[in-house]
Amino acid sequence: MAGGEAGGSNMGSYMEVAKPAIFNGEAGKVGGFITACRLFVRMKLRRSMVEEQVQWVLSYVQGGLADVWKENVMEKLESGEVEYESVEEFLTSLKKEFGGGEEESMKAVELRKLEQGGKTMEEFIQEFKRAARGSGYEGWLLIEEFKRGMNGGIQRKLMESENPPTSIEQWYWRAMALDRNWRESRRKKERLQRKKELGEEAPKQEQRQSLPQSVVWQRRQPLPQQATTGPAPIEGVERTNVVVVRG
């Protein structure tokens, strides 16, 4: 068999990673079991051979119909009848065998695709809770998916805090508090920036107002002539007022 992944960080070598619960072939639990195995292999067994990774997963498959399937797989592996190129290929075959819960599978896929992006933490949490219902994720698996989907800055602050959250509810409310504080801080910076820009603009306006106004001279219009009554004066004859006294 091909070897496991050799590259990447060795951070998982000293991190505590929970092991998956025993899987007995129940369709409703296959999604959570595969996710738990995938995470553990990635963090703890990534340098192991694929055969060792597959055998490790099989050690948690016990009970009911799962035992029969497990025995068949082990016989095929020992005889060389089947060989997996990667542990992911093996997990895919396990899911095909036991993944009868189509709705749960779709919910799990939706949950794994969720990312906060530009949404507020409140909006992201509501979407996350909606997708988590009926997905088969719970406990630390649910926490891992929530951490994966949130924005990296908030995740780092919570994980590097003196007392990191230990339950999904603690992750919810502490992430919301950090997100609110960050957004409020950004709004304050934007308001201060606007005030600064307005303060720089005010002296320019005062300078424009203090410039001398251009003077526009208007030609004085002659006064209109008053209209006269009576006949027009005869040219060359001076007009006088005559008073007639009748006896």
- 127 plus 68 within the same structural domain: no
- 151 plus 59 within the same structural domain: no
- 114 plus 159 within the same structural domain: yes
More confident residue, 156 or 220: 156
- 3 plus 79 within the same structural domain: yes
What's the pLDDT score for residue 240? 52
Distances (CA, A) of 101 to 16, 28, 226, 237: 30, 6, 106, 126
Residue 123 lies in a domain: yes
- 13 plus 83 within the same structural domain: yes
**Is 60 exceeded by the pLDDT of residue 200?**
yes
Total domains in the chain come to 2
**Is 90 exceeded by the pLDDT of residue 52?**
yes
What is the DSSP track for 138-194? -HHHHHHHHHHHS-HHHHHHHHTSSS---SHHHHHHHHHHHHHHHHHHHHHHHHHHH
| Domain of 111, in residue numbers | 102-189
What's the pLDDT score for residue 42? 92
- 81 plus 111 within the same structural domain: no
For the residues 230-236, what does the mean pLDDT come to? 55
Q: Say what percent of the chain tops pLDDT 90.
A: 40
- The CATH number assigned to the domain holding 117 equals 1.10.1200
* Lowest mean pLDDT segment, chosen from 155-164, 183-192, 224-233: 224-233
Which of 100, 119, 139 terminates a domain? The answer is 100
- 89 plus 112 within the same structural domain: no
**Is 80 exceeded by the pLDDT of residue 113?**
yes
Q: What is the mean pLDDT of the chain?
A: 80
Which of 79, 100, 121 terminates a domain? The answer is 100
Please give the radius of gyration of the chain, using alpha carbons only, rounded to the nearest integer.
43
Which of 189, 210, 226 terminates a domain? The answer is 189
- 57 plus 69 within the same structural domain: yes
What's the pLDDT score for residue 5? 46
- 96 plus 106 within the same structural domain: no
Residue 239 lies in a domain: no
**Residue 133 per-residue DSSP state:** T
What's the pLDDT score for residue 7? 46
* Lowest mean pLDDT segment, chosen from 95-99, 111-115, 187-191, 235-239: 235-239
Highest mean pLDDT among 24-28, 32-36, 218-222, 235-239: 32-36
Residue 178 lies in a domain: yes
What's the pLDDT score for residue 8? 46
Tens digit of pLDDT for each residue in 12-22? Answer: 556 788 899 99
- 10 plus 60 within the same structural domain: yes
Question: Per-residue confidence at 6, pLDDT binned at 50, 70, 90?
Answer: very low
* Lowest mean pLDDT segment, chosen from 82-91, 108-117, 177-186, 234-243: 234-243
Residue 215 lies in a domain: no
- 76 plus 142 within the same structural domain: no
- 5 plus 68 within the same structural domain: yes
* Lowest mean pLDDT segment, chosen from 64-73, 176-185, 196-205, 219-228: 219-228
Nearest to 29, CA basis, from 139, 159, 129, 120: 139
Residue 58 to residue 22: CA distance in whole angstroms = 10
Residue 156 to residue 164: CA distance in whole angstroms = 10
